[in-house]
Amino acid sequence: MSPHRLLAHPVAHLTARASRIAPRPVSRTPAHHRSHTASRSSPSASPIRLVATACVALAVAAAAPSLHAEDFVVEKDVMVAMRDGVHLATDIYRPAVDGQPIDEPLPVILTRLPYNKDGAATAGKYYATHGYVFVAQDTRGRYKSEGIWHMLTDDGPDGVDCAAWIGKQPWSDGKIGMIGTSYVGGTQHAMAIAGAEELVTVIPVDAMSNLGRQSLRNAGAFELRFWNWIFLNAGRGSRASHDPGTQAVLQELADQRFTYLKNMPTRRGMTPLKLAPEYEDWLVEAMQRGANDEFWEQNNIIDFPERYKDIPVYLVSGWYDSWAGNNTANFTALTKTIRGPVYMIMGPWIHGQQSAFAHGQVNFGPDAAIADQWAWRKEWYDHWLKGIDNSVGKAAPFKTPVRIFVMGTGDGGKDAQGRLQHGGQWRDEQEWPLARAVVTDFFFHPGGGLSTQQPSDTQSSTSFLSDPSDPVPTIGGNISSHNDILLQGAWDQKGGPHVWNFPDPIPLSARRDVVVFQTEPLTEDIEVTGEIEVRLIASTDALDTDFTAKLIDVYPPSETWPGGFDLNVGDGIVRGRFRESLSEEKLLEPGKPYEFTIKLYPTSNVFKKGHRIRVDIASSNFPRFDVNPNTGEPLNRHRLERVATQTIFHDAPRPSRILLPIVPRE
């Protein structure tokens, strides 16, 4: 399995794996390739290996803004010193003429990644042949870089040191823009928060931020995709992986993830993960720290937006991405705090798949894809790094500060690959959330009803059992680092061989521990665009438990879909002990009703006439989230589990409901 499929493609999840550009002996180099040794050396860099790759044709424009070279050179494994003496491995791609780098100082596109800088070759070639220097650096403790890996906490100061080094190089004009997705988007946020002087703009795509709020810890629950990330990456590119014997043991650990998932929690020193101690230390601590406290402070933009450097920021994510909720939250926080400007685009995408228009079992139409990933970003860089008057602020996709893809306007048919044609269309907006959206309560009713009418019964409830040994299986959703154990994106909420822990072809709604509330067939189209919450009034006989909510667009049976199609739109969770605050845990009083706020991921979807709006309530969503044992024991230190009796109230004094932002029809 490639690390490119984990938190991010090494640069942006955008192309097939780039082939490594390796040095070749001059005597074996074809006539249209040349190899050279750099004539200079840096006091903070190791001796440089220089490789040139060129096409037969060569064109270099005279003016810097229009520079386009078909020749470039790359300096491999330059060891750049950090303030503490640790050296980080760095590759430098530069425009060239006849195999020699041009002398003109240029702006720099920087990516700092834990996934092996060699994978950045495609992006490096593109930007080096389009008027930029491109720099790729292995983050601390990863692949060829020295030091010990830590989750993002070194990437602020290391980023500042890297930027300062770049700013002193003769090939740099002192201006840096950053690129990368997920973890690699997180290194952008870290560098902006650290205030790197040379940093001019960032494009964080599906980027790690606000880790204690949502997407890593999620309202107190732990997103197991990060468990998956650690189990896979502890033996790839880590310090421990440099020893072949240790790497083999860690690979065996990764191969046995399904078994380890059945034996949670992961305890310190009890698995081969102990051979990669920095990875074990982080994972065990992260799974124990449910509160949004100082452990999660790195990249906390929502609570500390004033720390973010005042630069142009282009926030990119998708409605089915694992970081979607934090992307919209960051837009809201930063637009109130910095001049920026701050732009945001939200597509129908899963993690890092901005060039795709389908995922899971659903097709959103070719217009959903941004086909040329590098040129799209280059337009932004050209404007802010070179001062070019282009489409930024004038034309799509940069015409307005917000651009969203409104899903659900397709014909509902089936494409050639058998996927639901849910469709959709792009729309430019001026703000987020939309000022014209009307937040509307849809109330739960006895018998599974859902409507805008408030319940009238004085006492009404539905109870179910939550068994930690048989959790509700995950079928799609806002997921990354899914490798093998999770499905990403949009799926019919029905089991099958594609769901490893729910292989039978039965709908999730058939389970006794999934409580369904749905509208009657809609009499007109309803657009839901914005942030979504469930206000659930419920009780449990446990000291602690979870409640989950999932929003579903229910397609009616048709000739194309005889059984209909239950399309997941968004989901969320809350851990009971964090019902009042994400900063402090407080166990539940068994039998006492509480109001639990479940924050779903944001969306934009048209629920068409004849469809139903549905909300599923349960107490688990595994392996998207860790399973609550219902015992109240300290997080990730439990030995016991118990079946809990859960009660949902849906009467006049205790009206459970979902809050949907409805956009009025024009």
Residues 6+ apart with CB under 8 A from 248: none
Lowest mean pLDDT among 47-51, 313-317, 651-655: 47-51
State mean pLDDT over 597-604.
98
State mean pLDDT over 77-88.
98
Distances (CA, A) of 471 to 106, 494, 629: 55, 15, 10
What are the tens digits of pLDDT across the range 611-647?
999 999 999 999 999 999 999 999 999 999 999 999 9
pLDDT of residue 666: 81
CATH architecture type of domain 8-184: 3-Layer(aba) Sandwich (3.40)
Which two tokens mark 318? 């998708």
465 forms beta bridges with 645
Per the prediction, the chain carries an average pLDDT of 91
Give the three-class secondary structure for 380.
helix
- The C-alpha R_g of the chain, in whole angstroms, comes to 25
Statement: residue 56 has pLDDT above 90: no
Separation of alpha carbons 567 and 636, rounded Å: 32
Statement: residue 602 has pLDDT above 50: yes
Statement: residue 14 has pLDDT above 70: no
Lowest mean pLDDT among 5-19, 148-162, 382-396, 560-574: 5-19
Helix axes 155-167, 183-194, angle to 10 degrees: 70
Statement: residue 45 has pLDDT above 60: no
Statement: residue 61 has pLDDT above 50: no
pLDDT of residue 6: 33
CATH topology of domain 438-632+639-663: Jelly Rolls (2.60.120)
pLDDT of residue 70: 77
- Longest Cα–Cα distance in the chain: 88
Statement: residue 452 has pLDDT above 90: yes
What are the tens digits of pLDDT across the range 213-268?
999 999 999 999 999 999 999 999 999 999 999 999 999 999 999 999 999 999 99
Separation of alpha carbons 95 and 103, rounded Å: 9
What are the tens digits of pLDDT across the range 483-534?
999 999 999 999 999 999 999 999 999 999 999 999 999 999 999 999 999 9
pLDDT of residue 67: 63
